[in-house]
Amino acid sequence: MHTNQTLKSYRGRFAPSPSGELHFGSLLAAMASYADARAHQGQWLLRIDDIDQVRVVPDSEQHIINSLEQAGFEWDEPVYYQSQHIADYQQALGNLTAGGLIYPCYCSRKQIKALARDNIYPGICRETAIPDESADEYALRIRVPEQNLSFNDLIQGHYCQQLDKEVGDFIIFRRDKVFTYQLAIVVDEYLAGISHVIRGHDLISSTPRQMFLQQQLGFATPRYGHIPLAVTPDNLKLSKLSHAKKVTTDLTTLVLAARILGQAVLKAEDYQHQQDFWKHLFQIWQLKQVPKMEKIEIMY
């Protein structure tokens, strides 16, 4: 891997996990990332976040891709699969380990719960060395500094987090031998040269962790923008609902999504074809019009 990469041109992405159908909440994230890329004459990529095979629902990846195609999304490169990049995650873990930041953690969930304050890992195993050969089960954690990490979110504005107090040493490689989301996506964004990450608000609190990993690995930090999370009127995140309805891809739904994202699109019947809608959206798209809210209620 090269380091100190500079991000010159706009490259955005949408990265669903294949754990169900494309629902309305993920359509919002797909649309916001797509329209922002196209409004900047940028490229837009599709990534399937399938690192956690336990959560993968068979066929859902194909369903998501079909829904996106039917809705008129066009990605510029072949689909990127996390499951094909295990060697890259391994290499990044090697670099972090060489930097002396990684330690094995043998604690059970129960032990941590008994000792942790606010669910923050209290560093019990911090001084433990990584064994050369061991049949023992352990996770690998990264030591975080006493450091404030902040960034200017393109939608939500200033965001700041003190990693040691608010997150604690976090897991990079799980006990069941799976790389964690945090490490995987930092490597993914780097390998794909992603310059802008537009995604749901549920991920804003993991952004400082990702920035910390980027700093340790010598990767450039993309710009981030977090759109409001779609919730049901009883405050349930759509993606957490097992029965979250598969999104329809007709013009009425696309227009509704664009309006929720604050964009001044026309009525569905004023667009003759789906392409007319997209063309218009790219022309008028303004990220600044996306509501600066954590969540937004969807009757869907």
Contact residues toward Zn ion (CB under 5 A) are 105, 107, 124-125
Bridge-partner residues for 151, per DSSP? 159
Nearer to Zn ion by Cβ, of 143 and 292: the residue is 143
Q: Where are the alpha helices (DSSP H) in the chain?
A: 24-39, 60-71, 86-98, 109-115, 163-166, 181-191, 207-217, 251-260, 274-284
Residue with tokens 């690998």: 140
Nearer to Zn ion by Cβ, of 63 and 175: the residue is 175
CB of 46 to Zn ion, least distance (A): 37
Compute the distance between CA of residue 52 and CA of residue 200 in angstroms, rounded to an integer: 19
Compute the distance between CA of residue 33 and CA of residue 193 in angstroms, rounded to an integer: 15
Nearer to Zn ion by Cβ, of 8 and 110: the residue is 110
Nearer to Zn ion by Cβ, of 163 and 298: the residue is 163
Contact 218, 158 (CB under 8 A): no
Nearer to Zn ion by Cβ, of 175 and 295: the residue is 175
CB of 127 to Zn ion, least distance (A): 11
CB of 108 to Zn ion, least distance (A): 9
CB of 104 to Zn ion, least distance (A): 8
CB of 120 to Zn ion, least distance (A): 12
Give Cβ neighbours of residue 48 (< 8 Å, ≥ 6 apart). 15, 16, 17, 18, 61, 64, 79, 80, 81, 82
Compute the distance between CA of residue 164 and CA of residue 229 in angstroms, rounded to an integer: 26
